[in-house]
Amino acid sequence: MSNNIIEIKNLKKNFGGLKAVDINNLNFERNKIISLIGPNGAGKTTFFDLITGFTKQDSGSTFFDGKNISNLESYKISRLGMVRTFQLTKVFDRMTVNENVLFSASSLKNDRFLNSLMKSSITSNAEKELNDKTAEILNLVNLYHMKDSYARELSGGQKKLLELARVIVQQPKILLLDEPLAGVNPKLSEDILSLIGSFAKQGISILMVEHNISAVMKVSDHIVVLAEGSVIAEGNPEEIRSNENVVTAYLGKSND
Amino acid sequence: MKQRKRILLGLFLVVFSIGMIYFLNDEGPTRILVNLMTFAGIYSISAIGLNIHFGWTGMLNFGHAAFMGIGAYTTILLIPHAAGREGSINEEGLPLFIAIIIGLVASALFGLLVGLPAIRLRGDYLAIVTIASSEIFRLVVRDQENLTGGVYGVISFSDIFQNIRPKFLEDLALNLDVSAGQLWVATVSWLMVILLILILKRLQNSPWGRALRAVREDEDAVRALGKNAVWLKLQSFMLGASIAGLSGILLAFNYGTLQVEYFVPLLTFYIWAIMILGGVGAISGPIFGSILFWAFISETDQIAALIFENADGQQIAGVRFMLVGLLIIGLMILRPSGIMGKKEELLLDVK
């Protein structure tokens, strides 16, 4: 088994005449916290959409865990163990917090129409086990006291936590987080970062897009910088900090 | 509002509207009541199906009449019947029970047929496609006279259904001075309503029902978590369609004839009105919604006659729609979540 969890070759996507993503060669190592940074409009979210199957790529190939997932449907990619969150949180507003996590944790077999109709003892036992599991996860993200509230009653930061709970309950191989700290207060940011760190310790690879550079520098093992759809730099935080291309991409070129 | 309070409110409204029928009709209120309850039962079933589409899964289906029609036509044309202008009786046919099963499957398959190309559409786009497909169904049925009887409709099919009517219903009908045939349709309809409610109670909080609600809330998140949203929507579409088919079959047996004009878009909007009145997403909502709706419809004639002296039938029919509209507006202002709906799960803000 290769040491790379994701390998990308010649990934291209254009929107009309706009080149959104154009990446020649990019690999992500296993069991690392990797951050994807870049100015607004650099193609970070499009890149997420492409590798998770939410947007069709124009050309190129993506390998996940050695398997070619280019052009695979999004839900199938997710089933392989690559699960994502969204920039704007997408919790199920009119379901309870617990149901949000239960839905995610429930197996495909458990979800089947006939099993639900027959309500076999296997299903109800499975539901009991699921409830134990979701209780544990909700305790972990400190939302257990809200478990019977509707998700739309949560604050913005709590919704981010719920989204984390919902993805982590699936024990994915890699977690793709789209701006997990956006709009979150500093205290909660700390909590979310330490949660992300603990997921990584459990052997889950993390790939995140984040604008909070100081947080990124603190937790990341590896940083990839995107600008105008292409990789302009990658390396550990120290290397990125001193990279001139990165400074130029963020702040513009100085005139002298 | 707690569940008990909601049920009390629903019961109060039902008792009140039935009381109004006795108050406003000196002659034959029982007959009016049985007629009303028959339609209420049949429309409840249909609204239960629509509730799965919209209340549970969030799909705007405006072609519900076609699902009812497919079930009705499939079943009726498979049992002994007489179709078209000539009206010669076709004595051969399948046993009733098997024909009904095939009718329900046909409705589900029609749901799949409409759903496959349309299900990826969201919100109002799905609404446009479903209303168009329901009109296509109606026009095709009207056109294919050889098979469906076209504008002349189908007649002489009720015997096979009425022959299995239990004896005690006839005595009861004689006592109440109502039609035994209609009483039988009403009985079967309400038994079906109870059966469906029991089944749906089971499904609503099951993993499958939970998955449908998740689709309603956010399809992208469902896909991101590894669940096949398209398949869930198709399943929901098929289940709701076949429940609608059942109601179409009962509608045909209630009228005793089958006319394509039953399945105009207005029928779809009646079912929507019932679902909204009862409370979108609430399992028992359609029951209260349909009784209230039909009581109101049958009372509007008298109310209209009170307001306008010497109004003729056509004018009263016009006033009826205005009053139904007022009822819905009033209810939406006072109780936007309907009689049985939960305020927290109010669904009328479609994405």
CATH number at residue A232: 3.40.50.300
| Three-state DSSP state, B167 | helix
Residues of A in contact with B218 (CB under 8 A): 90-92
Q: Examine residue B128 and state whether it is found in any structural domain, yes or no.
A: yes
Q: Examine residue B72 and state whether it is found in any structural domain, yes or no.
A: yes
Q: Examine residue A168 and state whether it is found in any structural domain, yes or no.
A: no
Least CB–CB distance from A119: residue in B202, B221, B222: B202
Go through A115-124 and write b for each residue having 16 or more CB atoms within 10 A of its CB, e for each that does not: bbeeeeeebe
Give me the pLDDT at residue B67, please. Answer: 97
Indicate whether A10 and A36 sit together in one domain: yes
Residues of B in contact with A74 (CB under 8 A): 223-224
Least CB–CB distance from A103: residue in B211, B220, B344: B211
Least CB–CB distance from B344: residue in A94, A103, A115: A94
Indicate whether A84 and A186 sit together in one domain: yes
For chain A, the residues whose C-beta falls within 8 A of a C-beta of chain B are: 52, 54, 73-76, 78-79, 83-86, 90-95, 99, 102-104, 106, 108, 110-113, 115-117, 119, 123, 127, 150, 166-167, 170
Residues of B in contact with A127 (CB under 8 A): 207
Tell me which residue of A128, A147, A127, A141 sits closest to A85, measured CA to CA: A141
CATH number of the CATH domain containing B175 = 1.10.3470
Least CB–CB distance from B206: residue in A73, A104, A119: A119
Query: How much is the average pLDDT of A222-242?
Result: 91
CB contact under 8 Å between A103 and B225, yes or no, is yes
CB contact under 8 Å between A112 and B235, yes or no, is no
Indicate whether A11 and A81 sit together in one domain: yes
Q: How far, in whole angstroms, is CA A100 from its chain's centroid?
A: 17
Go through B271-295 and write b for each residue having 16 or more CB atoms within 10 A of its CB, e for each that does not: bbbbbbbbbbbbbbbbbbbbbbbbb
Query: How much is the average pLDDT of A230-244?
Result: 89
| Three-state DSSP state, A32 | coil
Residues of B in contact with A93 (CB under 8 A): 217
Q: What is the largest CA-CA distance in chain A?
A: 75
**Of the given ranges (A45-59, A240-254, B114-128, B233-247), which has the lowest mean pLDDT?**
A240-254
Query: How much is the average pLDDT of A44-63?
Result: 93
Give me the pLDDT at residue B113, please. Answer: 93
Indicate whether A194 and A247 sit together in one domain: yes
Indicate whether A40 and A71 sit together in one domain: yes
CA distance A73 to B229: 11
Least CB–CB distance from A106: residue in B202, B207, B228: B207
Q: Which range marks the domain in which residue B52 is found?
A: 3-345
Give how far B246 is from chain A: nearest CA, Å.
Answer: 19
| Three-state DSSP state, B83 | strand
Which DSSP state fits B258? B
The pTM is what? Answer: 0.91
Give chain B's domain count.
1
Q: Examine residue B350 and state whether it is found in any structural domain, yes or no.
A: no
Parallel, antiparallel or unpaired: strands B81-83 and A230-235:
unpaired
Q: Examine residue A230 and state whether it is found in any structural domain, yes or no.
A: yes
Q: Exposure of B264 by Cβ count < 10 A (0-12 exposed, 13-18 middle, 19+ buried)?
A: middle
CA distance B350 to B272: 14
Give me the pLDDT at residue B253, please. Answer: 96
Q: Which range marks the domain in which residue A37 is found?
A: 4-91+173-251
Q: Examine residue A163 and state whether it is found in any structural domain, yes or no.
A: no
Indicate whether A96 and A143 sit together in one domain: yes
Tell me which residue of B61, B144, B102, B51 sits closest to B249, measured CA to CA: B102
Q: Examine residue B351 and state whether it is found in any structural domain, yes or no.
A: no
Indicate whether A10 and A134 sit together in one domain: no
Q: Examine residue A108 and state whether it is found in any structural domain, yes or no.
A: yes
Q: What are the pLDDT tens digits along chain B (351 aa)?
A: 577 888 888 888 888 888 888 887 777 788 888 999 999 999 999 999 999 999 999 999 999 999 999 999 999 999 999 888 877 788 888 999 999 999 999 999 999 999 888 888 877 899 999 999 999 999 999 999 888 988 999 998 999 999 999 999 999 988 888 899 999 999 999 999 999 999 999 998 899 999 999 999 999 999 999 999 999 999 999 999 999 999 999 999 999 999 999 999 999 999 999 998 898 888 999 999 999 889 888 877 777 777 777 777 777 777 777 877 888 788 888 888 888 888 776 665 544
Least CB–CB distance from A95: residue in B217, B220, B227: B217
Indicate whether A114 and A86 sit together in one domain: no
Q: Tokens 């008792």, residue?
A: B15
Q: Examine residue A200 and state whether it is found in any structural domain, yes or no.
A: yes
DSSP B215-237: HHH-HHHHHHTT--HHHHHHHHH
Q: Examine residue B91 and state whether it is found in any structural domain, yes or no.
A: yes
Reported confidence tier of residue A143, pLDDT bands at 50, 70, 90: very high
State what percent of residues in chain A have pLDDT above 70.
97
CA distance A15 to A6: 24
Q: Examine residue A166 and state whether it is found in any structural domain, yes or no.
A: no
Q: Examine residue A182 and state whether it is found in any structural domain, yes or no.
A: yes
Apex B308 CA angle, B306 and B310, nearest 5: 105
Go through B111-150 and write b for each residue having 16 or more CB atoms within 10 A of its CB, e for each that does not: beebbeebbeeeeeebbebbbebbbebbeebbeeeeebbb
Indicate whether A138 and A44 sit together in one domain: no
For chain B, the residues whose C-beta falls within 8 A of a C-beta of chain A are: 199, 202-203, 206-211, 213-214, 216-218, 220-229, 235, 239, 344-345, 347
Q: Examine residue B137 and state whether it is found in any structural domain, yes or no.
A: yes
Best of B210, B220, B237, B349 to disrupt the A interface by mutation (most A CBs within 10 Å)?
A: B210
Residue A226 has which token pair? 């995107």
CB contact under 8 Å between A83 and B344, yes or no, is no
Q: Is the pLDDT of residue A253 over 80?
A: no
Give me the pLDDT at residue B1, please. Answer: 58
- Over the stretch A12-22, which tens digit does the pLDDT of each residue have? 999 988 889 99
**Reported ipTM:** 0.91
Indicate whether A79 and A188 sit together in one domain: yes
Indicate whether A86 and A190 sit together in one domain: yes
Q: Examine residue B129 and state whether it is found in any structural domain, yes or no.
A: yes
Give me the pLDDT at residue B351, please. Answer: 45
Give chain A's domain count.
2
Indicate whether A51 and A15 sit together in one domain: yes
Q: Tokens 């590894």, residue?
A: B226
Instruction: Using CA coordinates, name the residue in chain B closest to A90.
Output: B221
Give me the pLDDT at residue A95, please. Answer: 93
DSSP B281-349: T-TTHHHHHHHHHHHHHHHHHHHHHHHSTT--HHHHHHHHHHHHHHHHHHHHHH-TTTTT--GGG----
